Amino acid sequence: MNPVLTEASVITCGHPVTPALPIRVKGTMRLTVSGFGVLTGKSIVNVPVPEDSCVLVDGNPAGTEKCTHATATGGVVALLTVDGEMVLGQRGFDGTTTGVPENPEAGLIVSPEQTILTAG
């Protein structure tokens, strides 16, 4: 099962605070799940990371930089597009952020928060 991501999905950088304070992203209203727009390849491109959602502290220790922006690099669903745009799903989802050091295991973390719409 590969849940499609929507505006209700909880997306954080790889160094999230607990409980998660999600990165807010815009989906497409051409396809919605429970009223939330489905995320496409354009939804997570250099989007702002809320200041309080990343545990990193600038300069502590030296060289550390808090995440300020994030871009998705994975999670494209093979068999579903909306208006020609690729749709994002949980499987393979990852991304990069401006934070230093990077989380080597996960640049971006997602909890889909829906199971109604799944895709290949």
List of residues contacting Zn ion (CB under 5 A):
13, 15, 54, 67, 99
Q: Quick one: tokens of 33?
A: 């799940």
- Closest listed residue to residue 40, CA positions, set 92, 2, 79, 4: 4
- Smallest separation (angstroms) from Zn ion to the CB of 117: 28
Choice between 32 and 68, CB closer to Zn ion: 68
When computed from its CA atoms, the radius of gyration of the chain, rounded to whole angstroms, is 14
Tally the C-alpha atoms within 13 A of residue 106's C-alpha that lie toward its C-beta.
15
Choice between 5 and 54, CB closer to Zn ion: 54
Choice between 10 and 119, CB closer to Zn ion: 10
- Smallest separation (angstroms) from Zn ion to the CB of 97: 6
